[in-house]
Amino acid sequence: MTRLAFLAGLALATSVAAQPDAGVGKPVIAVLYFDVDDKLGDLTMFRKGLAEMLITDLVSAGGIDVVERARIEDAMKELKLQSTKNFDQKTAVQVGGMVGAHYQVAGTILRPSKNTLLLESKIYRLLDMKVVVTARAKITSDDIFEGEQQLVAKLVAGLADTAKLALAVPAKKPVKLKLDTAAKYGESLEARDAKDPAKAKTLLDQVVKEQPDFILARLDLAALAK
């Protein structure tokens, strides 16, 4: 069982909005890495962690299929793209098409001040590359989850409206996650993508020590132990 399948099962067990027959004909949505200024090193690493968090929360909305981040990474490698580079529109369409997506989440991470990040996001319909949802959220460096979930709630509500879907807004996380820890988690994903499990494990050990209730990191660590 993949991690997304596990998380989807967990979401179905706790959500009343998922429909029993939603497994047929569900739209497929892909989450691209958000654009970021390469000079902001912590944000460059954070973008992978952010993508994983968004994917996980979108899975829990039910009623849609969400492309696993690993498949996005594979598509990027096939197109010979570096994971630290930003996406132009043509490349974004190529990646979305390669993973069979109907909709695509893209966005930008900005840093208006030292302790504040601004997430600006859009959902594109790949059939015509029309923007069907726009959303933004502010997050502070000492609580990534708060703003990330605000963004997800807006994306889910917008997609439900435009695609006429019954989607559930993910339950609010009762914990906080600091930017430094989230960036370190992103580094662990980068290490896994580079086929360096030893480095990934070292980073994940540090993440779990800093944030014992960070479920994604604990699942990744357990996967590496197999």
pLDDT at 84: 62
pLDDT at 87: 75
pLDDT at 3: 55
Residue 120 backbone dihedrals phi, psi, to 5 degrees? -115, 125
- Greater pLDDT, 71 or 38: 71
As a dihedral over the C-alpha atoms of residue 2, residue 145, residue 93, residue 45, rounded to 10 degrees, the angle is -90
**Spatial distance between the Cα atoms of 158 and 164, rounded to a whole number of angstroms:** 10
Q: How confident is the model at residue 171 (pLDDT cuts 50, 70, 90)?
A: confident
Mean pLDDT of the chain: 86
**Is the pLDDT assigned to residue 149 strictly greater than 50?**
yes
pLDDT at 119: 96
| Lowest mean per-residue pLDDT among 14-28, 87-101, 188-202 | 14-28
What structural domains does the chain harbor?
3-174 (3.40.50.10610)
Compute the average pLDDT of residues 108-113. 91
Let me know the angle formed at the C-alpha of 130 by 127 and 11, rounded to the nearest 5 degrees: 75
- pLDDT digit string, tens, across residues 114-133: 889 999 999 999 998 899 99
- Greater pLDDT, 186 or 43: 186
- pLDDT digit string, tens, across residues 3-40: 554 444 433 333 323 333 334 478 999 999 999 876 67
The model's pTM is 0.85
Nearest C-alpha neighbor of 61 from the set 216, 145, 170: 170
